[in-house]
Amino acid sequence: MNKLFEQIGFAITSMAAVIFVLILTLLGLLTFTHTLFFEVLPQTITGWERYLASWMLALGWEFTLLITTCNTQFLHRRIPLVAAIASGVIVLFFIEAFSFDLPTIELLKRWFIGLLVATINFIYTELFYAKWKDLHRTKDLNTRITELEQIVNVKTNELSTSQDRLAKTNAEIERLVDYVAELEAFKKKEIDRLTCSYCGNVFSTIYHLNSHRGNCEKNSMRDQKQSVFGVIA
């Protein structure tokens, strides 16, 4: 039951409901407008030509009112108000609201009907305009949401790719750190091997080191003959 009421509520507040009631109102006013034009047309127009002319003029006026109402976003805000007042005046002429010889209560009834029609037309004009803006705002928001979702998906894919690259880079960095540590250990070992144990000088080759060690000033055994194997060791 709640779902049924919810669907009824959506139907009543939809743009289609506004247009449907607006068209019904204009169709009802069409008979008023036709009668008015039929009465005011020149008496030289008679027969079917008078009927045709009055119906064409009535249709033209009511469709003009409908198109004006449905396109208020392109017009000055006062134009729909003028159209609504004109529609009310047409009703006043139709129901002979300007016959001031009628009783006061009868005149009040007829003027109330005319004002009511004008008010209804103006209300529907404003309502249609507001619903139209809301409809386009909703469409724009949905389009924007779709665009943002696409952007988020792209950024998510980029983030995933970046995270994969970062993980690979971290693994490569760890490997390089271990490799650098091994190089540093190897470098220290090589430097120690090419360093004179007496004076601490570092030489480029083991042969230069061996030549120096035998004549190093700090070598207490430099005047003594050393074993070749001892020097190389």
pTM of the predicted structure, to 2 decimals? 0.48
Q: What is the pLDDT of residue 108?
A: 87
The proportion of the chain whose per-residue pLDDT surpasses 90, expressed as a percent, equals: 9
Model confidence at 231, pLDDT cuts 50, 70, 90, reads very low
Contact between 214 and 194 under an 8 Å Cβ cutoff? The reply is no
For tokens 């994969």, the residue is 164
Domain ranges for the chain: 11-153, 195-232
Q: What is the pLDDT of residue 196?
A: 75
Mean local confidence (pLDDT), 12-32: 78
Contact between 114 and 122 under an 8 Å Cβ cutoff? The reply is no
H or E segment and range at residue 61: helix 47-70
> What would the two tokens of residue 62 be?
């009511």
Asked if pLDDT for residue 80 goes beyond 90, the answer is no
Average pLDDT taken over every residue of the chain: 78
Flag the least confident range among 34-38, 39-43, 183-187, 206-210: 206-210
